[in-house]
Amino acid sequence: MNHMTQGPLLFVTGNKNKFAEAQQITKRAGIVIEQFHDRPTEIQSSSLHKIAQHSCEVALNQLKRPLFIEDAGLFIYHLNGFPGPYSSYVLKTLDNPGILKLMQAEKNRSAVFRSIIAYGEPDREIQLFEGETRGTISRRIRGTEWGFDPIFIPDEGDGSTYAEMPDDMKNQISHRAKSLAKFVNWYLTYGPATT
């Protein structure tokens, strides 16, 4: 099936950085995506899966065409998984300096970044795809990219934070790259459904 002829697939996100990252990955697979800026209001839940699924259902009811959304969280072991599903709120309130302050004297700096992609199309069950990257929290802000990128050092990298990595390197090992890769593989085989 040639997905280029289906028209652009909607990525429902208000985050231009997230869209750019996704676009680089989907483009390699020949999938054209388009950003839809009006992200549905998220439910409060301790589960990224539930948040992603609900947001996808709301967007699908509104737009009635194939689309996907992505939700991600940084889970820090010393903080019992905080900020986790509340990452975007914590980023707006505490930001990176606040997280570093909470971790100031802590030796165990282990963390995991998780990404959930929820894909939906009319009259079809929503599909979920998960990616995760393990790493550690740096002791200072390194780099100037968005989100928690300047304080997260992935285990698979060279000791750089996400923010210090070139895009092509980050797009091979990031949590979002992994969930997108799973989604792309599925989409090329199974979606969108034809009648």
Sorted by where each starts, the structural domains of the chain and their CATH numbers stand as 3-190 (3.90.950.10)
Mean pLDDT, 10 residues at a time, over the chain (195 residues)? 59 91 91 85 81 94 94 96 93 95 95 97 94 98 91 96 93 94 94 59
Q: Which residue has the tokens 């909470």?
A: 102
Contact criterion met (CB below 8 Å) for 116 and 48: yes
Per-residue pLDDT at 2: 40
Please give the model's pTM, rounded to 2 decimal places.
Answer: 0.89
Per-residue pLDDT at 13: 93
Given 71, 123, 167, 168, the catalytic residue = 71
> What is the four-CA torsion angle of 46, 70, 182, 36, rounded to 10 degrees?
160
3-state secondary structure 164-176: HCCHHHHHHHCHH
Cα separation, 184 vs 3, in Å, equals 11
Residue 95 a catalytic site member: no
Closest CA relative to residue 78, chosen from 59, 57, 105, 58: 105
- DSSP 3-state of 122: coil
